Structure 1
Amino acid sequence: MPLPSLTPVKSIQNVRLPGKDSTWDITISPRDGTIASITPHQPQDHHPISTAPLALPALTHPHIHLDKAFIHNTPEYAHLLPSTGTFAEALSSTTAAKRQFTRADLLRRGEWLLAGSVSAGVTAMRAFVEVDQTVNLTCLEAGITLKKGWKDACAVQIVSFAQDPIFSGEYGEGNRQLMEEAVRRPQVDVIGTTPYVESTVEAGKRNIEWAVERALECDKHVDFHLDYNLDTKTEALVWFVLRTLKEKRWTVHSTDKRVMLGHCTRLTLFGEEEWGRLAREIRENALPVSFVGLPTSDMYMASPPSEMGHDRSRGTLQVLNMINKHGLDAAIGINNVGNAFTPWGSEDPLSLACLGVGIYQAGTQANAELLYECVSTRARAAIGLSSPASGLALSKGDQADILLFHDVDNTGCGVSRPRHGVAGVVWDPPPKAGRDVVAGGLLKAPTCPRSADHFV
């Protein structure tokens, strides 16, 4: 299994930092790969500040499917390419694809995802792998292998994920038994389920209760695919999740494990009163709940029932409004790459932050910085890999997961165009060849010719 070449770094010199004048040197502790100091750069020669790379916190995938990535890029699955593009077709064709999954195939496509993500600047991800009667534990075991192999370049949180029903249907009980076995494995960090695929609302609620109970029992995070519809006639199960968390006494005072709610497109139909109630229940009960919007999948898949007469509408969580107006904890994630659920887009989280400018009509510099946080520091905290503090400042004691952006010529014409500040890299993400990635003080083999000037 090919792995990225990683080199220990003692210091990163002559870099720009967000919100700071002049340039800076970042010293890294060889003992634990954390930032030991950040001090003003003392130039030996005169170099204009504008030529120094911008150093920012590395990127994070808070929600991505490892086992289903790049199905469309694999010849063996060519007969399963979309013909209608519907959610029902995506479910059925993915089930058919899963019957063909092999360990070698899973490792190959998983490496594509990890390599592309790391080269973009991702040093942490929450990766879903499915466990059910179709694949048994094959996806889980491949995910664990990838987690171990890539651990120095990327912290991979493994989600044992029930995409299929565990309380209804012909295979519900068998699926649940497999999940019972899987979630107890020490390499599994998160229990994930999909309550809305159950045949009844009551079965969906049993799904939620089971996941919460097992997560508390096994000391795992829990992550729900939830309320993935735009139907006012459908009960929003977010209220049942909060009620269950309160009844089971899952609070920040009793556990450091977190709860993530993904998709939640039904919540876009909430009025101000419901949003206010949601924020109050989470805050007043000290519930460690985060939301993740998945715009590339949501805009492609989440549409209202056809009888509502406007089936061109699409819904995705208004993440910036949730943060700014209601004080909720939220991030954005890629979800799927190259499969029937999301046939468009790439594995680069920065492209998602760029898309967010249009989705949320968020054109200010402050909004660009918040969007970067949503695929970086906020995303990392939401999956429980750092403290809830947000922002883009690099600080002494932080893990040295750092992404550098260089101004490089990617035209072949000898012309390089600068991007100024965080807003510049969000509005028009630079190519991967202009990025250097440091994970825990280890530098991935650089692709930028200017890299040697900045690393010691």
Structure 2
Amino acid sequence: MPPPTLSSKLTSIQGIRLAGSASAWNIDIHYPADSPRGIIQSITPHEATTPGDDSVPTPLVLPALTHPHIHLDKAFVHSASQYAHLLPSTGTFQEALSFTTEAKQQFTVPDVLQRGEWLLAESVSAGVTAMRAFVEVDHTVKLVCLEAATKLQDQWKDACEIQIVCFAQDPIFSTQHGEENMELLEQALARYPQIDVIGTTPYVESTIEAAKRNIDWAVDRALELNKHLDFHLDYNLDSGKEALVWYVLQSLQHRGWTSSSTTKRVMLGHCTRHTLFTDEEWCRISHIIHENDLPVSFVGLPTSDLYMAASPDQKTSHDRPRGTLRVPEMIRKHDLDAVMGVNNVGNAFTPWGPPDPLFLACLGVGIYQAGTQDDARLLYECVSTRARAAIGLSSSRSSIGLKEGDSPDFLLFHRQDLTGCRVARPCGTVAEVVWDPPATVNRDVVVGGQLKRSGFPCSRGDLVYKFSNE
């Protein structure tokens, strides 16, 4: 399946609505001679010049969406017939690990390419123009997933920027396969310059000492190779287990990883154990990060966390807590950098939920009891501008307002009738988009100044989009 066809270069988008404004605006796009991608040259008030120009509701324009944490190689295992015997029967974390290991034994490059294309197609159609994609390297899959990921990275580069994570899901300092897994990681890092990020899972090591060696190795290698770093960390709800976040922060300090010493960032994913922290512990984390200038972000992964992360006594009949990072509280109360990500889709770790970041933002309204318009803006940022900054692809975190000089990567939300009843409900604010996300056929995606239309033509398309003659 080929990547989506993009339009010729857009020179302007006219008569659109921006976040927080009831007025209509025009966005003019300029293309520097030394870059194939455009930049927003100006944003000016729109004046109707064509009869009927203002007779149809204006589309809302918001920044494009981002996957800050998604597993490319394990996506949609449940949708491929060869894995039909591996559908969940108990729904436990151990079953998911076991079934996924068994599925990985069947992975081939064509298989990963096909399922990866499914993920990319649905993600891009939802409005995702950048993603951090985990692909596993270990004794089971060898370099199969990485080979497929680099092909997809190149094939889809015009529609979506794919950051590849060379990911150690399995132990590298314990078990009978640890040494082989490490050798394969080093082979991958030497052979594939396309790798952007080193990722590991310290909690799968057989001892706490091995987990700490895992962390130190990853920090050292990421610094040596000038890569971003991404840990799956503290994925439990057991207050009796040592939280490894303290050791990660200590390792970063001792090795001099600061915002001023490197442009590369560190992401901590899952971290469900941290939901048991006291305010004092959260304040301590915030203090360590800020006092030591550590470029650390946290990513909550609600669809997986709520499904998988349970307390050790989860099978009791009356008390089955679930945990996922309280992202808005981390940002507002503790001044931490936190975002939201899809993680897995269509496999035993997460058999529910689409690869649509807006679904997560909507879910966050309920999870965090975040129902105000300000909450909606923050939740949108957490799957958009904040997420993009957290993976090191931009410096702007806290605004969903477009401005001159920005890259023209954004979504246009239309008001089309999908009911067949000739009725279209308005969707003109950020809150309306988050509270009840429009169907993907009501979203047009602009990537670097080129348009990927939805499958449902915009009724104002001829008025909204102006293209170059190239």
| Structure 1 residue aligned with 2:260 | 253
Does the Cα contact within 8 Å between 1:382 and 1:388 map onto a contact in 2?
no
Residue aligning to 1:189:
196
Match of 2:153 among 147, 168, 182: 147
Q: 2:363 aligns with which of 338, 341, 355?
A: 355
- Residues 54-101 of structure 1 deviation map (CA, whole Å, 9 limit, x = unaligned): 000000000000000000011100000001000000000000000001
Q: Is the contact between residue 59 and residue 428 of structure 2 (CA under 8 Å) also seen in structure 1?
A: no
Task: Name the counterpart of 2:164.
Answer: 158
* TM, length-normalised to structure 1: 0.98
Residues 132-151 of structure 1 deviation map (CA, whole Å, 9 limit, x = unaligned): 00000000010000000000
1:305–1:311 contact (8 Å) kept in structure 2: no
Q: Indicate how the Cα distance of structure 1 residues 332 and 389 shifts in structure 2: closer, same or farther if over 3 A, else same.
A: closer
Match for residue 24 of structure 1? 25
Larger displacement relative to structure 2 (169-178 or 14-23): 14-23
Please give the secondary structure, in 1, of the residue aligned with 2:333.
helix
Which residue number in structure 2 is paired with residue 118 of structure 1? 124
Q: Could you say which residue in structure 2 is the equivalent of 1:92?
A: 98
State which of 199, 208, 220 in structure 2 corresponds to 1:201. Answer: 208
In the alignment, which of 92, 106, 112 is matched to residue 106 of structure 1?
112
Instruction: Name the CA distance, whole Å, in 1 between partners of 2:372 and 2:222.
Output: 40
Select the residue among 304, 311, 333 that pairs with 1:325: 333
* Structure 1 segments unaligned to the other structure (5+ residues): none
Structure 2: runs of 5+ lacking an equivalent = none
* Aligned 1:34-433 pairs, distance under 5 A: 34-44=39-49, 45=51, 47-48=53-54, 51-184=57-190, 185-306=192-313, 312-433=320-441
Aligned residue number for residue 455 of structure 1: 465
Q: CA deviation at 1:20?
A: 2.2
Q: Is contact 2:314–2:320 with CA below 8 Å preserved after alignment?
A: no
Q: Secondary structure at the match of 2:62?
A: strand
CA deviations on 1:154-182 (whole Å, 9 max, x unpaired) are: 00000000000000001000001111121
The separation in 2 between residues aligned to 1:175 and 1:430, in whole angstroms, is: 43
Farther-moved stretch of structure 1 (310-319 vs 343-352): 310-319
| Counterpart Cα distance in 2 of 1:34 and 1:79 | 49
In structure 2, the partner of 1:15 is 16
Question: Would the aligned equivalents of 1:129 and 1:139 in 2 still touch at CA under 8 Å?
Answer: yes
- In structure 1, the partner of 2:450 is 442
Structure 1 pair 24–307 and aligned structure 2 pair: CA distance change class (3 A): closer
Quick one: distance in 2 between partners of 1:420 and 1:394? 16
Instruction: Count how many residue pairs are aligned between Structure 1 and Structure 2.
Output: 456
Shift of 1:400: 0.7
**Offset at residue 186 of structure 1 (A):** 1.1
Deviations 1:243-290 (A, max 9, x none): 000000000010000000000000000001000000000001000000
Partners of 2:358 and 2:219 lie apart in 1 by 32
Mapped contact 1:267–1:317 kept (Cα < 8 A): yes
Counterpart AA for 1:86: T
Q: CA deviation at 1:50?
A: 7.3
SS of 1:326's partner is coil
- The alignment yields a C-alpha RMSD, in angstroms, of 1.3
Offset of 1:413 from its aligned partner? 1.8
Contact 2:330/2:336, CA 8 A, preserved across alignment: yes
- How many Å apart are 1:34 and its aligned residue? 1.2
Question: How many Å separate the matches in 1 of 2:155 and 2:38?
Answer: 19
Q: Residue 5 of structure 2 aligns with which residue?
A: 5
Distance in structure 2 (CA, Å) of the matches to 1:452 and 1:133: 54
8 Å CA contact retained: 2:313, 2:320: no
CA distance in 2, matches of 1:171, 1:34: 48
TM-score, normalisation: structure 2: 0.95
In structure 2, relative to structure 1, the CA distance for the partners of 1:357 and 1:64 (3 Å cut) is same
Matched to 2:288, the amino acid is E
The CA deviation at 1:312 is 1.6
Question: What whole-Å deviation, never above 9, does each CA across 1:369-400 have from its counterpart, x for those lacking one?
Answer: 00000000000000000004321010111111
In the TM superposition, residue 308 of structure 1 has moved relative to its aligned partner by 9.7
